């Protein structure tokens, strides 16, 4: 079974721009969660989607948004990028909300 895939793997953007990251979950997994990893704050939960509905959201500003499609693929969008948004963004999928989450390789975003 193919694992979680994330595209692109690397991104360089400038302040004020927006960015869209994509995540394809493991086949059959309907829950997709997103995390931000930075050296200072560690791994922090962004949001979780299940059957195209956002069910949970972490403590991030409204510039961070996401969506999930009918095939369970998910995208997250960050608008008006700030330097502090530079991070590794990890996507994870699971069959259900309390099931084990399996992670993708991440997208490393650099904001200049």
- Residue ranges that bind other proteins, judged by CB under 8 A: 31-33, 35, 42-43, 45, 48-50, 55-56, 58, 88, 90, 92, 94, 97-98, 100-106, 108
In degrees and rounded to multiples of 5, residue 59 shows phi and psi of -90, 70
Tell me which residue has tokens 């059959």: 28
Min dist. Cβ of residue 22 to other proteins (A): 16
For other proteins, the closer CB: 16 or 99: 99
For other proteins, the closer CB: 6 or 19: 6
Min dist. Cβ of residue 100 to other proteins (A): 5
Per DSSP, the residues of 72-111 read S-EEEEE-S--GGG-EEEEEEEESSTTSPPEE---EEEEE
């Amino acid at each position: 079974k193919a694992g979680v895939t994330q595209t692109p793997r690397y991104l360089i953007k400038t302040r004020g721009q927006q960015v869209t990251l994509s995540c394809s979950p493991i086949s059959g997994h309907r829950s997709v969660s997103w995390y931000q990893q930075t050296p200072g704050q560690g791994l922090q939960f962004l949001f979780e989607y299940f059957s195209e509905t956002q069910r949970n959201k972490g403590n991030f500003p409204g510039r961070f948004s996401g969506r999930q499609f009918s095939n369970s693929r998910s995208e997250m969008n960050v608008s008006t990028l700030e330097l502090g948004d530079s991070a590794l963004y990890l996507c994870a999928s699971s069959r259900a909300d309390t099931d084990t989450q399996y992670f993708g390789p991440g997208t490393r975003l650099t904001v200049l």
